[in-house]
Amino acid sequence: MTDQVRDPAAAAAGTAAASGPPESAADGAAPQARDETAELRAQLAQSDERYRRAVADYDNLRKRMARDVHREREDERARVAARWLPVLDNLELALQHATADPASIMSGLEAVRQQALAVLADLGYPLRDDLNEPFDPSRHDAVAALPATDAAPGTILQVVRPGYGTDERPLRPAAVVVAKGS
């Protein structure tokens, strides 16, 4: 009897454990499988979040690039149009001083001027007609102010150098003489 269990309480506990439901390998694996499933779901959620952020970043990059390309195109158009301005100014001077020359020269110069104005207008920078308009410092540069009895103060009396462009996209303000009050 010496080989038998000496402690009756331990023997009873051993008997109860042996008579209870047997612990199978599946029962031990179930908590481990649940832990692995939870871990995989967390990894999937992280991957999904990274994917969504990458898609959003790509969309933002695409939009920013489209804005940059549009802005660069507009800036290039302005540079091209600005190159034409001295040509127009010189043509204006030639027209002013060519009145004694034959009519053919005048008609040729006028045709070139009209062609140049059409190019600027096609680029989005038409000639502005500011004569007798109210002075607007965002569209005009005042080069002189003269008293005028037949015009309201602030009215443009003379355009010294014409302006080009639109209110939204001005190319050059007009240099003007403005009526001043008495």
Q: Which amino acid, 120?
A: L
Kindly report, residue by residue over 118-171, the tens digit of the pLDDT: 888 988 899 999 999 999 999 999 999 999 888 899 999 999 999 999 989 999
pTM: 0.52
Q: What is the pLDDT at residue 164?
A: 95
Give all strands (DSSP E) within 45-173, no chain letters. 140-147, 156-161, 164-165, 170-172
Question: What is the mean pLDDT of the segment spanning 72-92?
Answer: 86
Split at pLDDT 50, 70, 90, the class of 28 is low
Distance (Å, whole) CA 14 – CA 8: 10
Residue 23 has pLDDT above 90, yes or no: no
C-alpha 137/C-alpha 162 separation (Å) is: 14
What's 21's DSSP letter? P
How large is the average pLDDT for residues 48-66? 97
User: Sorting pLDDT into bands at 50, 70 and 90, what band is 1?
Assistant: very low
- Residues, the chain: 182
| Burial of 104 from C-beta contacts in 10 A (0-12 / 13-18 / 19+) | exposed
Q: CA-to-CA distance for 75 and 125, rounded, in angstroms?
A: 12
Domain boundaries, the chain: 30-124, 126-182
Q: How confident is the model at residue 16 (pLDDT cuts 50, 70, 90)?
A: very low
CATH number for the region 126-182 comes to 2.30.22.10
Average pLDDT over the chain, rounded to an integer:
83
What is the DSSP code string of 103-116?
A: HHHHHHHHHHHHHH
According to the model, what pLDDT value does residue 89 have?
82
